[in-house]
Amino acid sequence: MRLRTTILPIDPDSATNGHSDAHERPPEEPPFVELRDEALQQIEHEAKLKQEARREVAEALAEPSGAFDTRNYIRKLLELAKSKKTTRILLQIWQSDYSIIAFVLVMISFYLMKNTGSPPVGLFFFILAMATVDAILSIFVIRLSFHQNKHGFYRTEDFERDWLRYRILLSMTKAALLFVVLTSCGTAAVVASYVVWFFTATQRLRYIILRWSMDDHYPELQRWSIFTLLHEAGIEPKRKNYNLVAVLGVLIGFAIVLLF
């Protein structure tokens, strides 16, 4: 009786190593699996937030007790408008400069000016409003210039164009504010406001609002301010002269509204 034997094929790698690598090296997961799971979790989280927002909006729009509650509706809409991102941005603005405080003072002075018609209050409103608008425009122009220059295509003519836009917007703002002061407080307040602006007081206040460090020379003041005349007398727009002229302009402006 013959015994039939079957010879199985031998893997050369197994024969060399003495065992199979299948049990030694488990299959590795692709490197993007964790990123995929994280993205799916983020999508699921955003979907839950959207559902909660829709539910809150539906509750806010619902009419309680058969009548529409306007105050409750506005309050809930304001609560929906609040977010961590908005709060964080406002906190950053609060810490970086005084523009929020200046804006609140502008609104208070505007309310007092419209209700009292007092020329000193009108002058105070013009100084604050002009400096605040100047500060906001300066932020946008400088950051736009920096962003364009970062990409390497900001040229000299680009800077001159942005500067011209800045001056045009500032001139339009000045004309509008002078008109508001004229209709509310009279001619004396308008003259005083223009004197304060011409003596660079509003632009000097802009540096305080923005908390910017100051240079020692301001050649741009010779284009439009009293330093155009002072330059003929040999007085340059340096920091010390800048501060003195700005304070002098405020004193002259308030003297005009108090005496006339």
pLDDT at 162 exceeding the cut of 60 = yes
Q: Is 114 helix (H, G, I), strand (E, B) or coil?
A: helix
- pLDDT category of residue 212 using cuts at 50, 70 and 90: confident
pTM equals 0.65
The domain locations on the chain are 41-82, 97-259
Average pLDDT over residues 241-259: 96
For the ranges 111-115, 155-159, 197-201, 224-228, the lowest mean pLDDT is seen at 155-159
> What are φ and ψ of residue 19, in 5° steps?
-160, 170
CA distance 116 to 122: 9
Give the model confidence (pLDDT) of 24-72 as tens digits: 445 444 444 455 555 566 667 667 766 776 676 566 555 554 444 566 6
**Residue closest to 104 by CA, chosen among 125, 121, 122:** 125
Contact present, 206 and 230 (Cβ < 8 Å): no
CA distance 42 to 30: 20
CA distance 242 to 218: 8
Give the model confidence (pLDDT) of 134-151 as tens digits: 998 888 777 666 556 555
Question: What secondary structure letter does DSSP report for 154?
Answer: -
